[in-house]
Amino acid sequence: MKTQLLTEKEMERAAAILRAGGLVGIPTETVYGLGANGFDAEAVSRIFLAKGRPQDNPLILHIPSATWLERCCRDIPESAWTLAGACWPGPLTMILPRAPQVPDVVTAGLDTVGVRCPGHALCRAVIEAAGVPVAAPSGNLSGRPSPTTAGHMREDMEGRIDAIVDGGPCAVGVESTIVDLTCTPPRLLRPGGITLERLRELLGQVEVDPAVVRLMDEGEHPRAPGMKYRHYAPRAPVTVVAGQPERSAAYIAGHARAEDGVICFAEFLPLFTERMGAGPVMDLGPAGDTAEQARRIFDALRAFDHTAVPAIWAQCPDACGIGLAVSNRLSKAAGFHIIQV
């Protein structure tokens, strides 16, 4: 199969492929998604094949406005309308009781479903034109860093899907925040562009699922099945060094071998690029700019796959605001191999 690269002008074509049961890469403000008609079980099962995704990992339904919530969910609590009003369109996925018309393959048999209204206007236009909710995981091969450009998506999906709509680089750069509204208090299952602080402002108490901050033990079941898998992994092993930026930079400088790869804050670039025989160094952005770090994190992890580095060392921001999402993705890439300095 040849994968067509579509522009904004060919949006109707993308919608037609989705309606006909095909697979389309869709741009969102978080990361690129691998979309199929969310009400067509056969089309959705092709997503799992194209990604090599385990069947027990459910998908998120994407809708163009909160008015479609009732097509996907039932018993919608007041808190969902509050969040939709304040955060949609935007990088927030809500877990809600599933409507009967949502096929089992979407939810991996769970009685809940994840729903999100993306903040990318072209994405919403494609879904609106398709006329159905679009089931879409991130558009990477299973286990790889999520794609934040159409080019990344092509690297992983060329020949495996019908088309990719190029909507430019993703503005947020990490996947959506996931909040489970089917439990009390609501629970953060994955940190993202809508911060934990913001959720607490809107909802009051919000718990953080343990899978956000540590590796799950064998036999433990995180509420978001996807959180149990090793993720975002470049081919070389990653060590995260957390703590005050000057200290983490000094630690890495003292421990990394010359040929190792480094992900560092902009301020420390010279420290690493001027090493003798320096391995590749990726700039995560300024230490204080976590939004920029979120935009760069997956590109940085992906970049090492074009090199032969034996190991990767990464500086890590504090877990405040979107820093919690950056820290979570780095920690997952490292299999939670974190050194606190």
User: In a 3-state reduction of DSSP, which class is residue 306?
Assistant: helix
28 binds Mg ion, rule: CB under 5 A: no
CA-wise closest residue to 300 among 336, 323, 271, 329: 329
Could you give phi then psi for residue 30, rounded to 5 degrees?
-90, -70
Q: Which is nearer to Mg ion, 147 or 280 (CB)?
A: 147
Q: How far apart are CA 206 and CA 184, in angstroms?
A: 9
Residues 285-314 that bind Mg ion (CB under 5 A): none
Residue nearest to ligand TXA (CB): 226
- Contact residues for ligand TXA, defined by CB under 6 A: 28, 30-31, 33, 57-60, 93, 95, 107, 110, 112-114, 116, 136-138, 175-176, 178, 189, 223-227
125-154 footprint of Mg ion as x/- string (CB under 5 A):
-------------x----------------
CB of 56 to ligand TXA, least distance (A): 9
For the CA atoms of 139, 214, 79, 200, the dihedral, rounded to the nearest 10 degrees, stands at: -120
Q: How far apart are CA 57 and CA 142, in angstroms?
A: 11
Pairing of strands 33-37, 134-135: antiparallel
Q: Which is nearer to Mg ion, 138 or 293 (CB)?
A: 138
Pairing of strands 92-97, 177-180: parallel
Q: Which is nearer to ligand TXA, 119 or 245 (CB)?
A: 119
CB of 59 to ligand TXA, least distance (A): 6
Residue 331 binds which one of ligand TXA, Mg ion, none, with CB within 5 to 8 A depending on kind? none
CB of 294 to Mg ion, least distance (A): 15
Residue 338: strand pairing partners: 240
H helical segments located in the chain? 11-19, 41-51, 69-72, 78-87, 104-107, 121-130, 150-157, 196-203, 245-255, 269-273, 290-303, 323-333
CB of 67 to ligand TXA, least distance (A): 19
CB of 266 to ligand TXA, least distance (A): 26
CB of 265 to ligand TXA, least distance (A): 25
CB of 144 to Mg ion, least distance (A): 9
CB of 146 to Mg ion, least distance (A): 5
Residue 187 binds which one of Mg ion, ligand TXA, none, with CB within 5 to 8 A depending on kind? none
For the CA atoms of 97, 142, 317, 170, the dihedral, rounded to the nearest 10 degrees, stands at: -80
Amino acid at 112: T
Q: Which is nearer to ligand TXA, 31 or 256 (CB)?
A: 31
Could you give phi then psi for residue 275, rounded to 5 degrees?
-65, 155
Contact predicate 261/305, CB 8 Å: no
User: In a 3-state reduction of DSSP, which class is residue 162?
Assistant: coil
Residue 227 binds which one of ligand TXA, Mg ion, none, with CB within 5 to 8 A depending on kind? ligand TXA
Residue 30 binds which one of ligand TXA, Mg ion, none, with CB within 5 to 8 A depending on kind? ligand TXA
Q: Which is nearer to Mg ion, 179 or 241 (CB)?
A: 179
Residue 264 binds which one of Mg ion, ligand TXA, none, with CB within 5 to 8 A depending on kind? none
Residue 326 binds which one of ligand TXA, Mg ion, none, with CB within 5 to 8 A depending on kind? none
Residues binding Mg ion (CB under 5 A): 138
